[in-house]
């Protein structure tokens, strides 16, 4: 693995860094308090090409490789995880799935709009009763002439109330478990689809997380993405790459925690000297720095494997598992460096901790990542 960035990768990282420092980080606290990021940021990210990374230019994408995607995601995560998540879902889970599995018509219909930020996508897998065990989802799609009629409820859907299209997973067959699951592209203005925003989240407050209720939602047969019964493969392949993007976002959180903690340690005086002089504070900083490097290297390895066409799925689980837990540790250690000031939201570290916490839960909890890694090591499924 070559650890030097190409000119193109370095340029896109710089672009993302400048954008985040200018247009994201300064507003993160305000958006967190208001429970809504400024929606205009989506269009700006489209113009900068961040929503089209890895998508072919013929569909409005900005091309680029997964390494560039990881670098941009890290920068966005450094600025505001709520903004990072919008991209990881709309591009990472939805547009990339359409590019990989969609028909020519579906690509033409959705990719130019998603990559420009004119439309937003959401990913509807989780249900109130099925989270980790997503293969046993119960939302049903029943064939009626040339249409499918879909009913069910989806829970915790990122971008849910903002999205124009949902990549929706529903049961079409009698086969038990994931074999009977198919995937559909459902415009969110389709009659019968209603959305309720979920408030009171611990973190990612600027993001629109929603419950989606589908009551006899009728879509044409052409709304199905990938062959019937292949929906779970669509979901799992999206999540495998998605885990790299979550891991990269976590590296961003960890880096932000390090920057904030080092800065504060050099300014805050206690016992007649800055707290940077105290060995136990240096220990906190050293622990954060180590986590940042380890998480970044694991994440870069996944990006490199994807770009080289090598198997990456288990490595993505390792990176996501480590980086998400590292982000929580880093934010928590940074809060310790800030003392009581870390506990109020005039300083950034409390938000970092709140935002980091969900990363160990979504796109497969830490326990699920361990089971995936364990299965790869032993050949035994312990789910
Ligand atoms: P459960 O699956 O009920 O798990 C509860 C606990 O049991 C966990 O600790 C889990 O690790 C453990 N557990 C479960 N099974 C096992 C097992 N076999 N062995 C050991 N331990 C186990 N979903 C989407 O589809 N789209 C989205 O955009 C999306 N965005 C989200 C945004 C937020 C802010 C949140 C909080 C969630 C989001 N989710 C989304 C849902 C998320 O992916 C699920 O919450 C997650 O998969 C866990 O499911 P659950 O909450 O039902 O927990």
What value of ipTM does the predicted structure carry?
0.99
State in Å: Cα 132 to ligand 1 middle: 5
Question: Which pLDDT score, from 0 to 100, does residue 1 have?
Answer: 80
Pocket flag, ligand 1, residue 157 (CB < 6 Å): yes
Q: Is-contact 317 373, C-beta < 8 A?
A: yes
CA distance 70 to 173: 36
**Average pLDDT for runs of 10 along the chain of length 383:** 90 98 98 97 98 97 96 98 98 98 98 98 98 97 97 98 98 87 98 97 97 98 96 97 98 98 98 98 98 98 97 98 98 98 96 98 98 98 96
State in Å: Cα 370 to ligand 1 middle: 14
Q: Which among 163, 159, 65, 69 has a CA at the least distance from the CA of 110?
A: 163
- Catalytic, 75? Answer no
Question: Which pLDDT score, from 0 to 100, does residue 175 have?
Answer: 81
Pocket flag, ligand 1, residue 88 (CB < 6 Å): no
Please tell me the pTM assigned to this model.
0.98
Pocket flag, ligand 1, residue 372 (CB < 6 Å): no
CA distance 342 to 33: 16
Question: Which pLDDT score, from 0 to 100, does residue 178 have?
Answer: 87
Question: Which pLDDT score, from 0 to 100, does residue 176 have?
Answer: 77
DSSP code per residue over 177-232:
GGGGEEEEEEETTSTTEEEEEPP--SS-TTS-EEEEEEEEEEEEGGGEESSTT-HH
Q: What angle, 0 to 180 degrees and rounded to 10, lies between the N-to-C axes of helices 231-265 and 66-79?
A: 50
Please enumerate in sequence order all residues whose Cβ is within 8 A of that of 342, keeping only pairs 6 or more positions apart, or say none: 334, 335, 336, 349, 350
Q: Is-contact 173 179, C-beta < 8 A?
A: yes
Pocket flag, ligand 1, residue 126 (CB < 6 Å): yes
Q: Determine which one of 75, 315, 325, 363 is catalytic.
A: 363
The separation between the first and the last C-alpha atoms of the chain, rounded to the nearest angstrom, is 33
Question: Which pLDDT score, from 0 to 100, does residue 3 have?
Answer: 85
CA distance 61 to 97: 13
List 140's β-bridge partners, or say none: 151, 171
Ligand 1, atom 18: closest residue by C-alpha: 383
Q: Is-contact 343 350, C-beta < 8 A?
A: yes
- Residue in the block written with tokens 């020519």: 104
- Residue in the block written with tokens 């919008």: 86
Per this entry, what is the length of the chain? 383
DSSP code at position 311: -
DSSP code at position 343: G
Pocket flag, ligand 1, residue 368 (CB < 6 Å): yes
């Amino acid at each position: 693995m070559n650890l030097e960035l190409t000119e193109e990768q370095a340029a896109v990282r710089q672009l993302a860094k400048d954008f985040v420092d200018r247009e994201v980080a300064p507003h993160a606290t305000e958006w967190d308090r208001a429970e809504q990021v400024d929606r205009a940021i989506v269009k700006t990210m489209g113009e900068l090409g961040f929503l089209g990374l890895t998508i072919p230019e013929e569909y409005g994408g900005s091309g680029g490789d997964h390494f560039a995607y990881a670098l941009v995601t890290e920068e966005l995560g450094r600025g505001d995880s709520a903004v990072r998540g919008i991209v990881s879902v709309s591009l990472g889970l939805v547009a990339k799935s359409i590019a990989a599995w969609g028909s020519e018509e579906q690509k033409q219909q959705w990719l130019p709009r998603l990559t420009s930020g004119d439309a937003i996508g959401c990913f509807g897998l989780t249900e109130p009763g099925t989270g980790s065990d997503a293969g046993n989802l119960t939302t049903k799609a029943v064939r009626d002439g040339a249409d499918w009629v879909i009913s069910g409820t989806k829970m915790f859907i990122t971008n849910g109330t903002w999205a124009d299209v949902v990549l929706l997973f529903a049961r079409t067959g009698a086969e038990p478990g994931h074999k009977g699951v198919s995937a559909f592209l459902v415009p969110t203005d389709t009659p019968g689809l209603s959305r309720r925003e979920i408030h009171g989240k611990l973190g990612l407050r600027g993001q629109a997380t929603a419950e989606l209720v589908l009551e006899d939602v009728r879509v044409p047969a052409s709304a199905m993405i990938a062959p019937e019964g292949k929906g779970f493969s669509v979901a799992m392949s999206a999540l495998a790459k998605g885990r790299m993007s979550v891991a990269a976002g976590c590296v961003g959180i960890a880096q932000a925690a390090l920057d904030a903690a080092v800065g504060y340690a050099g300014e805050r005086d206690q016992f007649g000297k800055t707290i940077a002089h105290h060995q136990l504070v240096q220990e906190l900083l050293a622990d954060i720095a180590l986590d940042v490097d380890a998480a970044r290297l694991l994440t870069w390895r996944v990006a490199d494997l994807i770009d080289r066409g090598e198997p990456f799925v288990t490595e993505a689980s390792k990176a996501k598992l480590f980086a998400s837990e590292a982000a929580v540790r880093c934010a928590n250690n940074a809060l310790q460096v800030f003392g009581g000031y870390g506990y109020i939201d005039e300083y950034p570290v409390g938000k970092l901790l709140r935002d980091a916490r969900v990363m160990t839960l979504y796109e497969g909890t830490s326990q699920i990542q361990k089971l995936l890694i364990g299965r790869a090591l032993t050949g035994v499924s312990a789910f």
